[in-house]
Amino acid sequence: MSSSSLTDATLNPREVYTRADLERWERSAPSLAVLGHPVGHSVSPDMHNAALAVLRAQRPELEGLAYFKFEIEPEELERALDLLREKNFRGVNLTVPHKEHAAKILAKLGRETDEVGKKTLNTLLSGETGWIGRNTDGYGLAQALERDLDVKIPGRSVVILGAGGAAFAAAAEVLRQGCAALWIGNRSGDRLEDLLRDLRALLPPSAPARKSKRPRLLPEAIRGFTLSDPPAADWPADVVLINATTLGMKRDDPVPLDAALLGPQARVLDMVYRRGGKTTPLLGMAHARGLRAADGLSMLVWQGAAALAIWLHGVLQIHLKPQSVAPVMMTAACAALGLKPRDLQPDA
């Protein structure tokens, strides 16, 4: 691109922009964005701009608000976040590899985050004095499990594959909901041990608690394993498997776990989703065994709807229910990915 200013007349929400583009950003209206590396594949602009177009019909104060995507190198993130505030960006989504790095940046600055956001962030809201960090991945996961797979986590045993930010957010959510047991699998041991320590720290003290219908999960009920040696014999027949690795995004990726190890009532959620209706190897194996399984598109839609609700309430005091925009977001995501339209399951 040229060195001239980027204005409303020259900007395109489907374009991929860079930190250098932010330096010459001169858009008059407030903006939203997703930051990633890579980010060209992201359908978040399609989802959010479709939702905003519908909302504007009844909310004229949303006129001009638009969502863009930025390819940001990891070492550029802190500068990019400063520029985004200078350029009137009111909300930001973060994807790989920025979720954990952003949490460290906000922690260093003493900025507000939620409990999960202390380790991994996917949603930032521009506050009076800086970015406020949130994580809507757990909400998106819970919605996807219940609506796509009819899974309610309380009392269920869960296996999560991966030890990055996505795995931490997923694990924190199933712990919050009261899973019966949790296994975390990863290729390498060092990062796995760090994750297990952080997750066990989320559990309440072992002292006697107030009476509750939900049994207390003890730290030893969170167990780790390497993907090369899964303790499948210990898993109940109705275990819930969640793939929080990126394995499956590329055509030649190996399967993160052999679905033949799962019991007949197991449910499988693969956070990976692919263009053109292509199935990940894990989902293909699960379906071949007759297991109920789903990809991560619904999770993406629901976390995005929750993020939009956070931004509109925080910036414009608009109270938005995620379910009011999730259907239009799903339609836009499917169109952008070349998928057949999907209906979101109704409220439980």
Show which residues are catalytic: 99
d(CA 64, CA 128): 21
Dist. CA 299–CA 173, nearest whole Å? 13
> Which pairs count as long-range contacts for 331-336, CB under 8 Å and 24+ apart, including other chains?
331/50, 332/43, 332/46, 332/47, 332/49, 332/50, 332/51, 333/43, 333/46, 333/47, 333/297, 333/300, 333/301, 334/297, 335/46, 336/43, 336/46, 336/47
The 8-class DSSP code of residue 202 comes to H
Q: What is the CA radius of gyration of the chain?
A: 20
Counting Cα atoms < 13 Å in the Cβ hemisphere of 209 gives 12
Tokens of 215: 């049994």
Residue 137 CB contacts under 8 Å (≥ 6 apart), including other chains = 116, 120, 122, 166, 169, 170, 173, 299, 303
Q: How many CA atoms lie within 13 A of 240 on its CB side?
A: 27
172 in helix, strand or coil?
Answer: helix
Is residue 46 within 8 Å of 12, Cβ to Cβ? no
Measure CA of the first residue to CA of the last residue in the chain; give whole Å: 48
**Buried residues in 117-143 as b, exposed as e (16+ CB within 10 A):** bbbbbbbbbbeeebbbbbbbbbbbbbb
Give the three-state DSSP class for 190.
helix
Closest-CA residue to 216 (of 232, 205, 231, 230): 205
d(CA 115, CA 133): 10
Alpha helices per DSSP H over 203-339? 281-288, 297-316, 322-337
Quickly tell me which residue has 């339209």 as its tokens: 341
